[in-house]
Structure 1
Amino acid sequence: MRSNLFTSLLTLIPVLGDLALGYEVQTPPLDTDWTYTVGTDPWPEYPRPQLQRDEWQSLNGIWKWKSASYPGEPVPAKGSFDEDILVPSCIESAISGVMKMNQTYSWYRTEFTVPQDYIQKGKRVLLNFEAVDHQATVYVNGDLVGIHVGGYWHFNFDVTKYLNTNGTNTLHVFVFDPTDAEGYMNPVGKQTRVPSHIFYTPCTGIWQTVWLESVPDTYIQQLDIIAEMDGTVNVTVTTNQGTDSVSVSILDGEGASVASVNSGTANKAFDFKVSSPKLWSPDSPTLYNLTVTVGEDTVNSYTGFRTLSTGEIDGVTRPLLNGEFIFQFGTLDQGFWPDGIYTPPNREAMVYDLKMLKDLGLNMLRKHIKVENALFYRACDELGLLLIQDMPSMPLRTPDADQQAEWERQLDILIQQHKNYPSIYTWVIYNEGWGQITDYYPEFNLTARVKQLDPTRFVDSTTGWHDHGAGDFHDNHHYANPQCGTPFYSIQSTPYDNKRIAIQGEFGGIGHNVSAEHLWKVELAVQQINQTYEIDADLDAYNYRGHLLLSELRDQVEKYACSGAVWTQTTDVEGEVNGFLTYDRRLQRTDKKQWRADIQALYDAAASRGGKATNATTRKFRL
């Protein structure tokens, strides 16, 4: 009966064929309160909050799209494009206006004009892409300007010489995305061409903001800042050329100057000191604004003062933030949306999830084998949410040497592009053995490599499963009850290693089925709901079970060595119904009063085991 019901519901979802041009949101298997409010000027916010300039232009909006057949196709004629698509969005999503699966090859087309003041003598125009999944080949006015590989990373091209400065310019993007097709081992996370319970609808194409900016001939490419609890600030300003002088000014939240330095040099690290800064923490997420100038280029950014270290407190290895042990409790955060897949409908929707977690009292989340847009990390910085950031995993196969090398190259990019967000405190290399080589142990060299790129943060080398002793954490996964820093463990874990920090990388996962209005109306997904780790018949049972599991975790904090835990999960995703929120974000399962009290009890239990690292052996992460 259920099967027939959902088959009928699916017939209501349009089958997309040859459409007349004209964008409109398609009907997804499940919508949200934001689905039909996206409009045709999506994500208008400045997309890169840690390197802001005044002269920029969004290219988001309605583009032309068509399916393609093979790599190396000639740039298609203008009249050959047969559909509109919203940029940014996933081709598979309803918000895209296309909503088609398994588009291995695609073409995008749009036109734009460049303001005259962008192209004056001594200036350049950069074409920026925040993320294109998986490989993008970019043409401006028919000329190839560059190719980029990697679906999670921002990139740009200097397109100055390709522009028609007095008229319209045409931009074409050819996208290749095999996702997890046989023979390919790209970083894909939970994306799959054949969705099944814990693996979901993939995202193909231009799924984050596209934009132009005007820069001088010598311009800042990257700004790396380490601001420590003692006020020491280490800065590296990377420019495209030269060793020009650098000036940096730091302002507090009220706009008052707290430091000004004019003695730095581009492309070389330098230090200065801020007196008695207010520190960044989940309880007090204080941020400072920066202005950095090199020659004619000025950018605005921000930072937070905080120091991560390890310490031994009463014989237990602990993670320390600003010299203090605080218990870290958060959710596994998948970052999927029923209407946008990988792309949230808008910033308001994206931040809604984060505010819900903060409102319950959580101080952390684990960004699970996905990388978000820069505004997500800025929101975590502002709200005071610690972030465990996973490297997107490869499919459940063993990579060959070339595939492993490419994945490692992209691991480097993850660190380089995200190491300035105060909220990120841990990098995860491998998740549950996915794409992990086990006939030797590459995680040891990879951990050293990550530490070299960023010596200021923790590394969780293997979250769950094949743990051979690398990294700062001993990380257990167990459903539904926790086994965190305990003398008991299960078959897919290892005995607790007291030389490392104990964390429960995943647990909980209790589910609660809901009415059809909140479900992902795809028949296979509905049939697989019972694969959820545990199903509770009603919300009373769900909250009762949550209380018992958090009480068990509290016992392990009090009695054993548990320092942090990750609950599965923030929201439902397709056939998984174990979120604090349903997939449409319309139903919150958690009893707020109860969960707030139980989460606070975790923090209190940890505090009773020793907070500040007085008389503790500490090791600070530092350059």
Structure 2
Amino acid sequence: MFGSLGAVTLLVSAVLGQGFATPKANGTSGYELKQGPLDTPWTEKVGTTPWPEYPRPQMARSEWRNLNGVWQYRNASGGESEMERPPFRQELESSVLVPFCLESALSGVMGNYTIHSWYRTTFNVPDSWTERVLLNFAAVDYQATVFVNEKQVANHTGGYWAFNIDITDQLNKNGTNELVVFVFDPTNLWPYNVPIGKQKLIPEHIFYTPCSGIWQTVWLESAPADSIEKLHINAGADGKVDITVHTTSNTTTTADFILYEPNSELVKLKIKVPVNKAHSFVVDSPQLWSPDSPTLYNITVKLGSDAVQSYTGFRTISKGVVNGVQRPLLNGEFVFMFGTLDQGYWPDGLHSPPSFDAMVSDLKVLKEVGYNMVRKHIKVEPALFYQAADQLGLMLIQDMPALSTSSVFINDETAKQCPGVSLTPSLDPDTVQKEFDRQLAVMVNQLKSYPSIVTWVIYNEGWGQPWEGNDGVRNTSIDGILTDYVRKIDPTRLIDSVTGWHDHGAGDFYDNHHYSSPQCGTPWYSTPSSPYNSETDHRIAIQGEFGGIGQNVSEEHAWKVAASINAINNTYELDATPKIWNLRAHMILQELEFQIQEYACSGAVWTQTTDVEGEVNGMLTYDRRVNRMDKDMWRRDIQGLYEAAARRARTNGTMGVEGRGGGGG
């Protein structure tokens, strides 16, 4: 049926999806791709009908219409007061390409300080649609107020999360409909403190150009009034399937569940499952999902006249003691997790990859040299990213986007001056924490059916970890409270409560960050970490970040922004040439191999997949045109890590790793 990478997407989009773009209106400037600081090989190929693929592969419907394309845009310089004067039936002055961040070149706006914005487009509903019409947004950063035909239909908060609205009652079914969206995105504007990851209004070295507005696909779909709202599916290595079919009503009826053989239309299992409550059943002798064999099973769920396509993979993530060491287990076996820190930034689209093919190319580069894991770093990706990881066989460590680490104060109404000030946001800390907690739950619920996700990360290096009062003492209880909170929502994954410091002993991992050399499960350490002691800390030892070695690039491949270029020397280590970069990587990976063999190291995260703005420590340059890796060396060294982990699982170490031959250069 769907089989190979991208097949679900390609099948659905080829049969059902037609790109839609609002033509240039009188008084509206036409869309024009901006000249940004850097582009990619995909930039010029985007055109005006971007991301035509069906965007929600785990709950795909047959009747849909893509609304990506050229919309009208206006910077709402009047701020929130403009909400009182929506631009209904007005042509806005500029064009914007949806779904790309307003600050990006691909958007055609390439704005700065786009705190308040208006979007406008028109659409028609196909005559063949006789049931309810749902309007879907895959992600809008940060707060979206949505109007259809001059009626407010939604107000959504959270820059990374999908939402949909039943707009049937607001439609002009026999004519053109108007869609207007007001977006408020404070990023790190004082006094707000919201989950933003690495976005900053004033970028600086490890903090990057922000992303505002509609940055993932917008689409319409047709569904009956009593329809499937969400699917939560987990399939274990023992064949047990846990499923909850959420519906738009409180019905207690049943839905038809059909499971197909892998890469086939042959039905393996067909049963009825109750809706709106958890249900379990067992599938006989499933083929298991793993990085070496990422087998997936396609699924159809039917409720009355509603039918959605989905998929799952049978695997179990757990932990257990192997030869005296606490280990992560995949399908009951210790699998050493080795991946990159994956920022997911693009020079042409920022948060938005220019295309599906571009996004997947990053993952294929990693898989090619033997990485079996990716740490998705304080960002959430489009749903098709997670499907690609499922299909390629890449385990995912998924971070919760972090709260702001500092604020800026805009003292000019035109936002032309925006001095950076390290201020503590004045919003009530309890309010900030409650909203962070709410969005943490949204993340887990939105992503928990993807087989590739093996671990949730709550806090990165203490960013956003609350303090107790003004005495400078970290809140030592919140880590444990949130760990239990996430575990209750999803008991099937491991939890890394705090990757890096300030660790209070919660969660399943002891996670150390150290550049450039690793300190993975070792008795030596650098503050603010501490030595790992397997006798007293019964958690899994992992190197959450390390490496970080950089190699400067020519102007052709650099992010051509003076502040970013000036920050390159802040890189942990700079190597003169790609050859030296590979040699240093080889030396560092051999050190990691020793720690795996002798101590308790169970996984590691190399920084990073690509360069990002002023950071030049990627496997790839920011424009994705240069791959720094000596691929043969990286394959040998990565395989060496896996072999060392297998030896350590059988022995108590050898106090000296035998040479494997080969080398860098």
Pairwise TM-score range, normalised by the shorter structure: over 0.9
Equivalent position SS for 2:363: helix
Pair 1:595 & 2:634 matched: yes
Pair 1:98 & 2:127 matched: no
Deviates more, 1:37-46 or 1:496-505: 496-505
Tell me the CA shift for residue 260 of structure 1.
2.8
**2:551 partner amino acid:** H
**1:137 partner amino acid:** T
Equivalent residues of 1:244, 1:295 under 8 A apart: no
Equivalent residues of 1:140, 1:162 under 8 A apart: yes
Tell me the CA shift for residue 196 of structure 1.
0.4
| Matched ranges for 1:361-376 at <5 A | 361-376=370-385
| Matched ranges for 1:32-43 at <5 A | 32-43=40-51
- Paired with 1:94 and 1:271, the residues of 2 have a C-alpha distance of 48
- RMSD (Å), alpha carbons: 1.3
Work out the percentage of aligned pairs sharing the same amino acid: 59
Tell me what 1:496 maps to. 532
Tell me what 2:273 maps to. 264
Tell me what 1:185 maps to. 193
Tell me what 1:443 maps to. 479
Q: 2:460 aligns with which of 423, 427, 431?
A: 431
Pair 1:422 & 2:451 matched: yes
TM-score norm. by structure 1 comes to 0.93
Tell me the CA shift for residue 20 of structure 1.
6.0
- Paired with 1:98 and 1:602, the residues of 2 have a C-alpha distance of 46
Tell me the CA shift for residue 492 of structure 1.
2.1
- Paired with 1:262 and 1:594, the residues of 2 have a C-alpha distance of 50
Equivalent residues of 2:28, 2:72 under 8 A apart: no
Equivalent position SS for 1:342: coil
| Matched ranges for 1:393-542 at <5 A | 393-396=402-405, 400-439=429-468, 440-441=475-476, 442-498=478-534, 499-542=538-581
Structure 1 residues 538 and 274, CA, compared in 2 at 3 Å: closer, same or farther? Answer: same
- Summarize deviations over 1:70-122 as a string: whole Å, max 9, x none: 2223211544511000000000000000101111100000000001222x2xx
Tell me what 1:236 maps to. 244
- Paired with 1:309 and 1:465, the residues of 2 have a C-alpha distance of 24
Equivalent position SS for 2:79: coil
Q: Size of the alignment, in residue pairs? A: 591
Pair 1:352 & 2:361 matched: yes
Q: 1:226 aligns with which of 217, 227, 234?
A: 234
Equivalent position SS for 2:603: strand
Equivalent position SS for 1:109: strand
| Matched ranges for 1:41-56 at <5 A | 41-56=49-64
- Paired with 1:181 and 1:97, the residues of 2 have a C-alpha distance of 24
Tell me what 1:381 maps to. 390
Tell me what 1:288 maps to. 297
Tell me the CA shift for residue 443 of structure 1.
1.1
Tell me the CA shift for residue 493 of structure 1.
1.1
- Paired with 2:286 and 2:562, the residues of 1 have a C-alpha distance of 55
**1:584 partner amino acid:** D
Equivalent residues of 2:323, 2:650 under 8 A apart: no
Pair 1:567 & 2:606 matched: yes
- Paired with 2:234 and 2:650, the residues of 1 have a C-alpha distance of 24
Q: 2:202 aligns with which of 186, 194, 199?
A: 194
Structure 1: stretches of 5+ with no match in the other structure: 1-18, 613-623
Equivalent residues of 2:28, 2:91 under 8 A apart: no
Tell me the CA shift for residue 297 of structure 1.
1.0
| Matched ranges for 1:609-620 at <5 A | 609-610=648-649
**1:467 partner amino acid:** D
- Paired with 1:308 and 1:321, the residues of 2 have a C-alpha distance of 5
- Summarize deviations over 1:457-480 as a string: whole Å, max 9, x none: 000000001000000000000000
Tell me the CA shift for residue 603 of structure 1.
0.2
Query: After TM superposition, where is structure 1 displaced by more than 3 Å over at least 4 residues in a row?
Result: 77-80, 256-259
**2:439 partner amino acid:** Q
Equivalent residues of 1:307, 1:321 under 8 A apart: yes
- Paired with 1:252 and 1:187, the residues of 2 have a C-alpha distance of 40
Equivalent residues of 2:523, 2:533 under 8 A apart: no
- Summarize deviations over 1:175-211 as a string: whole Å, max 9, x none: 0001011211110000000000000000000000000
**1:600 partner amino acid:** Q
**2:601 partner amino acid:** C
**2:312 partner amino acid:** T
Tell me the CA shift for residue 262 of structure 1.
3.1
Tell me the CA shift for residue 609 of structure 1.
2.0
Structure 1 residues 222 and 77, CA, compared in 2 at 3 Å: closer, same or farther? Answer: closer
- Paired with 1:112 and 1:184, the residues of 2 have a C-alpha distance of 35
Deviates more, 1:228-237 or 1:557-566: 228-237
Deviates more, 1:501-510 or 1:295-304: 295-304
- Paired with 2:438 and 2:213, the residues of 1 have a C-alpha distance of 21
Equivalent residues of 1:245, 1:295 under 8 A apart: no
Tell me what 1:117 maps to. 128
Equivalent residues of 1:331, 1:570 under 8 A apart: yes
- Paired with 1:268 and 1:453, the residues of 2 have a C-alpha distance of 14
Equivalent position SS for 2:334: coil
**1:300 partner amino acid:** Q
Equivalent residues of 1:502, 1:564 under 8 A apart: yes
Tell me what 1:338 maps to. 347
Tell me the CA shift for residue 285 of structure 1.
0.3
Tell me what 2:93 maps to. 82
- Paired with 1:495 and 1:448, the residues of 2 have a C-alpha distance of 25
Equivalent residues of 1:478, 1:506 under 8 A apart: yes
